Amino acid sequence: MIERLKKVILLQFSKMKDKFVLITGTTNGIGKDLEKIYLSKNFKVISLNRIDSNINKTKNVYNYNIDITKEDEIILLFKKLHENNLDPDIFIFNAGINKIDFDQDFDIDNFNEVIKTNFFSVMFFCNHIKKLKYSNKKLIFISSFSTIFPNKNSLGYYFSKLLINRYFNEVQKNDLNNNYKLFSFGPINTKIKRFIKNENKLNKLAFSFLSISSFKAAKVIFNHSISNRKIINYPYRVYLFYKLCRLIKTFTGNE
C-alpha cells in the first residue's frame, strides 16, 4: 500500500516537472517565498521584478525586469515568453505596494502609484491573457483583510484591494473550470510596523499578534492553488476577528 502511494506521489510530481508558474514581485516577501516553494515542487518559475537586485539566478528561474504598471512592457513580455517557449500554467499576481498617502495631507502621487501597481497592472495582465485566448490557466489574485478593516493612513492600498475583489467577483461567475482564485490575508508581519505607527497601543498589539509570516502565506497559496475552493481567507480566525471589529464600528457609529 505504501509503495503504491509513493508511486502515485512520484507520478504527480513528474507531471509537474514541466509546469511553469509566473509570479510578479519576487524580490522579497510573499513573492520570494512563493518562488522557493514552487521551485522545490519541480515547477519552473518566471520571475518578474522591477529591479535586478536580490533575484534568484538558480536553475529553472527565468528572470524578467519589467515595470508592470506599463502595459507596453507587459505586451513585450508576452512576446518574449512566446519566443522562448515559456508558457505559464499559473499566473500569481503578487506584486503590490503599500504607501502612506493620508497623514495630515492627502498624497495623490503615492495614492496613484499604489492603485497602478496593485490594480491596473493586474488588469493589464488579465486583458492580455484574454486576448491571447489562453485556456485552462490558473489566475491567482491576492487581496487583504484591509478591505474589511482598513488602515486610515493608506487609502490607496484599501481601494486597490477592493477593486481586485470586485473584479474577481465578476470573472469567477463564468469560471466553470475553477481557474480563478482569490486569497485574502491578514497583516504580514514584515511590513506592518510603519503603517500602524498612528494606531493606539491596543490596535498595535492586535496587529502584531494577528500578523502572519510571508512564508506561511506563500505556503497557503501553493497548497490551495489546486484545491476546489475559490476564495481563501487566511487565517480564518483573524478574518472573523476583522469582521467582528467591522460590526462593532458600524453599530457604535465609530467609523
Q: Is 135 part of a structural domain of the chain?
A: yes
19: amino acid identity, one letter: K
Domain span at residue 36 reads 16-252
Q: Is 48 part of a structural domain of the chain?
A: yes
35: amino acid identity, one letter: E
- For the chain, where are the E strands, in sequence order? 20-24, 44-49, 61-65, 90-93, 138-144, 180-185, 231-234
- From first to last of its 255 residues, the chain has per-residue pLDDT tens of 556 644 544 555 555 557 999 999 998 899 999 999 999 999 999 999 987 655 666 889 999 999 999 999 999 999 999 999 999 999 999 999 999 898 889 999 999 999 999 999 999 999 999 988 877 899 999 999 889 878 788 999 999 999 999 999 999 998 888 899 999 998 776 555 555 555 566 555 566 667 788 999 999 999 998 788 899 999 888 888 778 877 877 777 665
**CATH code, domain carrying 89:** 3.40.50.720
Q: Is 11 part of a structural domain of the chain?
A: no
Q: What is the pTM of this model?
A: 0.85
Instruction: For residues 170 and 251, give the distance between their C-alpha atoms in angstroms, rounded to a whole number.
Output: 30
Q: Is 235 part of a structural domain of the chain?
A: yes
| Pairing relationship of beta strands 90-93 and 20-24 according to DSSP bridges | parallel
Q: Are 112 and 66 in contact (CB under 8 A)?
A: no
Alpha helices in the chain (DSSP H): 2-16, 29-40, 71-83, 108-115, 121-131, 155-171, 201-210, 214-224, 236-252
Task: Report the domain count for the chain.
Answer: 1
Q: Is 4 part of a structural domain of the chain?
A: no
Q: Is 226 part of a structural domain of the chain?
A: yes
Q: Is 81 part of a structural domain of the chain?
A: yes
Q: List the one residue out of 190, 141, 184 whose CA is nearest residue 29.
A: 190
Q: Is 202 part of a structural domain of the chain?
A: yes
